[in-house]
Chains A and B, each alone.
Chain A
Amino acid sequence: MKIDSARLAAALVLCAACTSAIAKPIAFAEGTTVMAEYGAGTMTELQAFYAPTFRYSVGGGHLSLNSAENDDTRDITYLRLNYLPKRWNMESAQANVFVWGGVGRAHVGETDDDQLAWNAGGQLDYETRRVYASLRSDYYDASGFSHRIDTLQLGIAPYEHDYDTLAVWFVIQGRQYSNGLFDGTEWAALIRLFKHNAWVEAGATREGKLQAMLMFNF
């Protein structure tokens, strides 16, 4: 494992700065979600959303992209609207379709200039109390760059958690970045824990880099 103390410290600072993180962009009506993700050095993201209803949420975030292939960096600060157009509530399962879009400013490192940037994305997920799958795609565009980030997660729980018990999930994540951020698919093995309003997910990529996410609902 190549996780060095500096990266671990950075992740802990990230944790301290953010009370929690969420895998769904809308938690529940009149709920606030705060999320932080450290993606193996290639991406770092902070988000905060408020949901007036369970159908949509509004908020903002900051995304830092650091190419694993060259010195390109993008720092994108954005406002975003998330919308849940479809939810299936089944007897022992739930599935969702989320879409989102937003606008903000991006600082492009290699040219040292700021540009207007917009973003759009979507997520399809399905979960029972034993299995979980989600496919998410994010697209960022500005005059000087465009990137797509596709993330697939497959999870399995060793036992069925309940409302008042700790949930444990083992998750495999595959992520692809377009346009020079990372060559190939970045695979990671994660353990996800959540109870009450706190969610922690951490693991390592195949290259031995830290992948972590924190989330908090209130």
Chain B
Amino acid sequence: MRVSHVLLALALLAPGVHAATIEMTVNGLVCGFCAQGIEKTLRKNPATADVLVSLENRLVAIATKEGTDIADADLRKALTNAGYDVKAIERTQHSMDELRARFKVSK
């Protein structure tokens, strides 16, 4: 019984401690040369594990490190300071490898 309680507790905690992916829809993403600032800015955040940019899909995705998150306000501020407009922010369970395969984006 105690073991099952521990497992249940771990299962409930799991979404909070696993690495998550944040997907942002961004306006103005038309030039790869100019969009470097987005990746540079986001990688400075200590919670960032990986960054993916897809101009085709107007997408900026961030994989966060286990047990961490980046607040929406901080994400919007980072993208705005990079010169772009964030239209939507969504947290998903897609891995970065899945997103790269789906959008045919290399590392």
Contact = CB atoms under 8 A, between A and B. Distances in A.
Given A163-B53, A163-B105, A196-B36, A127 B83 contact: no
B105 A29 contact: no
Given A162-B105, A167-B32, A89 B85 contact: yes
Contacts of A182: none
B81 A129 contact: no
Contact of B33 (A88, A91, A92, A217): A217
Contacts of B82: 28-29, 54
A212 to B, nearest CB: 17
Contact of B32 (A27, A91, A92, A163): A163
A45 B55 CA distance: 31
A98 to B, nearest CB: 12
Interface SS, B side: loop
Contacts of B83: 28-29, 54, 84, 87, 89
Interface SS, A side: loop
B53 to A, nearest CB: 4
Contact of A199 (B28, B33, B84): B33
Given A31-B37, A87-B83, A163 B30 contact: no
Given A91-B58, A161-B55, A162-B54, A28 B105 contact: no
B45 interface: no
Interface residues of A, number: 34
Contacts of B9: none
B32 A94 contact: no
Most chain A CB within a 10 A radius of its CB, from B33, B41, B83: B33
Interface residues of B, number: 26
B101 to A, nearest CB: 13
Contacts of B33: 22, 167, 194-197, 199, 217
A53 B80 CA distance: 10
A22 B34 CA distance: 10
A167 B34 CA distance: 12
Interface in A19-44: 22, 24, 27-31
16 contacts: A22-B33, A24-B34, A28-B38, A28-B82, A29-B82, A30-B41, A53-B81, A89-B83, A92-B58, A94-B34, A129-B30, A160-B56, A161-B32, A196-B32, A197-B33, A199-B33
